[in-house]
Copies of this chain bind each other. A is one copy, B any other.
Amino acid sequence: MSAAFAGLGPFVGVLGGMGPLATVDLLAKIIEETPATFDQDHVPVVAHNVAQIPDRQRFVAGTGPSPLPAMLAGIARLDAIGAGCIAIPCNTAHIWFDELAAGSRAPLIHIADAAAEDLHDGAPVTRVGLLATQGTLRAAFYQNRFAARGILALTNSDEEFDTLFTPGCYAVKAGDLPRAARLLGEAAAHLAERGAERLVLACTEVPPALARLDATTLPPQVDATRALARACVRWWQEHHHPA
């Protein structure tokens, strides 16, 4: 690290831009989750909110270039100026988690591990409903990381994706939250019927829609972005040594 940075310690790096608003949402939630009285109590964060990364969905569909080089370049920037850890506020980007972690000096926080940590804040949980895109589910990192902790992840059927989850996400993007709440709420209800004790909201479109529903009609929810924010705050609390 250059002497020019002297006096500034390590920070939580955020590899963002996928999309830019999800990154802002993570930054706001890091602040909300931090017990702070003064500015100086807050978690130091450097957010690389650069969206000029090839489209992840297109690459997965075989119709576009890999986003990996651009993501690695963003991580190289965060590492170069002293990142102590790096978080990525995009579920789909975790498809490349192992390659990104191998290319980073700073350790990466995995969003599924962060979500799993937040499932343990009450009675033991064995079955959770996972609300995520089909791309995220096919990559199976949530299911695998939950299984390693003895938690079974329940997911929607293909038919439920076609009629409820996918149109519900498009309704959020179109700003039609009442319609989104109805569709995504029904997708969530199917997971509850199959025994989900908690819901993990592992897609950034889902929380604003479900927030419109009566919370008592669905199992308790873990917002993966908020869980990632809480993991960032824990990292800082464990690594911060006040002068």
List residues of chain A with CB under 8 Å of any chain B CB.
2, 4-9, 11, 17-21, 23-24, 27-28, 31, 38-42, 44-53, 55, 69-70, 72-74, 76-77, 80-82
Contact of A21 among B5, B31, B52 (CB under 8 A): B31
- Which B residues lie within 8 Å of A49 (CB)? 27, 42, 44-47
As for how many copies of this chain the complex holds, the number is 2
Chain B nearest CB: distance from A116 CB in Å?
A: 27
Tell me whether B52 and A44 are in contact (CB under 8 A).
yes
- Which B residues lie within 8 Å of A24 (CB)? 24, 27-28, 31
Tell me whether A40 and B20 are in contact (CB under 8 A).
no
Contact of A2 among B17, B48, B51, B76 (CB under 8 A): B76
Chain B nearest CB: distance from A162 CB in Å?
A: 24
> Please, how many angstroms separate the alpha-carbon atoms of A82 and B77 in the complex?
9
Tell me whether A51 and B46 are in contact (CB under 8 A).
no
Given contacts A4-B76, A27-B47, 18 further A-B contacts (CB under 8 A): A4-B72, A4-B73, A5-B77, A6-B73, A7-B69, A8-B77, A17-B42, A19-B39, A20-B31, A20-B42, A39-B51, A40-B52, A40-B55, A42-B51, A45-B49, A45-B50, A77-B82, A81-B81
- Which B residues lie within 8 Å of A5 (CB)? 73, 76-77, 80
> Please, how many angstroms separate the alpha-carbon atoms of A46 and B82 in the complex?
14
Could you give 16 example pairs across A and B, Cβ below 8 Å?
A2-B76, A4-B72, A4-B80, A7-B69, A8-B70, A8-B77, A17-B44, A20-B27, A21-B31, A24-B24, A27-B27, A27-B47, A46-B50, A47-B49, A80-B80, A80-B81
